[in-house]
Structure 1
């Protein structure tokens, strides 16, 4: 995120390091974050940047809530009409499976080539959280996740499980190389 010289008259410039992956309708491969508040998508009223009213906090919260949500399929323009409809449900699972696979591949790229100046932040984050990422992947392979209060079924396709099993060795090796907590033996035990 960068503030142009004319900020706060104009919104901040936000760049997403995509590594060539489009894992969300709002995150383009060229780095554009498509959001009305950033003037990269049409909108009205408080959806767009209003000088003197809009804030960086509003941008960050909007990205967190509107872009980085659990159902990115419905972020595609016009797809919100498919929420809770059979056609939407039919397309949501494969879309979300692909988004998760692309997210895991993005993690691998981030570990190999973190954004300049953020090398330590990336390394430290994945040192602390890498084990949990792998545990979640393993839960998908097994068909369930421990949600803290018992387990929850995670429906997924056979193709997703195959693709996930193919990504996990690279991800595990990347986590082991940075010394992720609880991953010291991961590379040797991963299937």
Structure 2
């Protein structure tokens, strides 16, 4: 027997044994933070050793389902059966990740029923001819009257001082002059203690092109104490700092992530800075790395793997949030919601098509053919979301969506139901 071939065979056998041992160890662990991290480290170490020592570069390229261009199944056995084994192993890890997410999807202090979507769809939005014109002229800051759907509207009005009212009007002035292009705010003349902010999800994040609604309550002791913030979550925890009920917990101190620091570090902090901090520290490209406990973990292989799975989960929830927002826009933002999604319908559906086809990772937008970083389960979930997106776009008159829908999704667009 050729010496080189015998060495290669021994390496293959050793790697296969190591890989099987890792798989057996992970399947037996109980679900907790330490065990989960150890399991992921073992998974990644075993996979990298196995790939680097055993497989050729050509097959290595198509092996990992999280870093591949297309699925690799070989029904004839051989290396393809090993790939199938790994896909099953990866699915087992995915189930553990889902259990981990369920445990840490915190409900929060507020009643969840307030933010759940209505059981039935709302009546069609009145789409008039000048809706896009009103969208284009939509002010970043303005005062309005109707606060009936504000999540803090039922709180009693506290007794305030003239100095408090002066501070609030100064906050309004700062917001009117300083809001970035991606944040829109409405204040209420009759309830100066309430604000509503809508933040546009940035490109390159799992929140891209979405609209995220935050209701703010300003207490009578502001700015000595922090405002209360509640997100219109529809029951989705889209960030480690956002609970299912919409509660927000974010630490704005310089030593971010340390629980010893306060939520509101200084009475010099303005509402504008507060909203920008929410955008930067909550709706960012790697939300898991901003979770206390992951902040100092560094860009390890295990952390990147977890972040990828987390971003996939968040992007699906973000797409569902789009659907609910279009079905029932928040008051005083109706024209903005319609105009925004009609303006971005093509970008959203092109990105969804890329996710569905495995051509882009979660949050990366569409059309990155050089690298694919998405799981098969994620692709299936995006495919299902496209149907409901088509229905929501049809509801707001976004006819540009038709050419970007698949034939089956077009049935949803035209007839309003899913075809099996």
Aligned residues of 2:359 and 2:366 also touching (Cα < 8 A): no
Determine whether 1:81 maps to 2:296: yes
2:380 counterpart residue number: 162
Conservation of the 8 A alpha-carbon contact between 1:11 and 1:37: no
> CA–CA distance in 1 between the matches of 2:406 and 2:302?
42
What is the distance in 1 between the residues matched to 2:389 and 2:380? Answer: 15
Kindly state the Cα deviation for residue 12 of structure 1 after the two structures are TM-superposed.
Answer: 2.6
1:175 corresponds in structure 2 to 393
Q: Which runs of 5+ in 2 are unaligned?
A: 1-215, 410-420
What's the secondary structure of 1:80's corresponding residue?
A: coil
Cα displacement string for residues 154-174 of structure 1 (whole angstroms, at most 9, x for unaligned residues) = 410111001110111101210
Moved more, 4-13 or 92-101: 4-13
* TM-score (normalised: structure 1): 0.84
Cα separation, 1, equivalents of 2:408 and 2:272:
40
Task: Give the alignment of 1:102-117 within 5 angstroms.
Answer: 102-117=317-332
Structure with bigger gyration radius: 2
Match of 2:236 in 1: 21
1:33 corresponds to: 248
Contact 1:173 1:186 (C-alpha < 8 Å) held by counterparts: no
Q: 1:27 to 1:50 in 2, by over 3 A?
A: same
Give distance in 2, aligned partners of 1:178 and 1:98. Answer: 26
Aligned pairs for 1:61-140 (under 5 A) are 61-140=276-355
Compute the displacement of 1:177 (Å). 1.5
Task: Find the counterpart in structure 2 of residue 48 from structure 1.
Answer: 264
Distance in 2 separating the partners of 1:158 and 1:150:
17
CA separation in 2, counterparts of 1:117 and 1:148?
Answer: 32
* Paired residue secondary structure (2:266): coil
Structure 1 position 188, deviation (Å): 7.3
Question: How many positions carry a matched residue from both structures?
Answer: 187
Q: Does the CA contact (< 8 Å) of 1:143 and 1:153 recur in 2?
A: no
Q: Go from structure 1 to structure 2 and tell me whether the alpha carbon gap of 1:169 and 1:71 turns closer, same or farther (over 3 Å shift).
A: same
Deviations 1:142-188 (A, max 9, x none): 33359799865341011100111011110121012102262255567
Q: Which residue of 2 aligns with 1:5?
A: 220
Counterpart of 1:14 in 2: which secondary structure?
Answer: strand
Please list the CA deviations of residues 37-70 of structure 1 after superposition, one character each: whole Å capped at 9, or x if unmatched.
49xx94538x73411x111121112111111111
Let me know the Cα RMSD of the aligned residues: 2.8
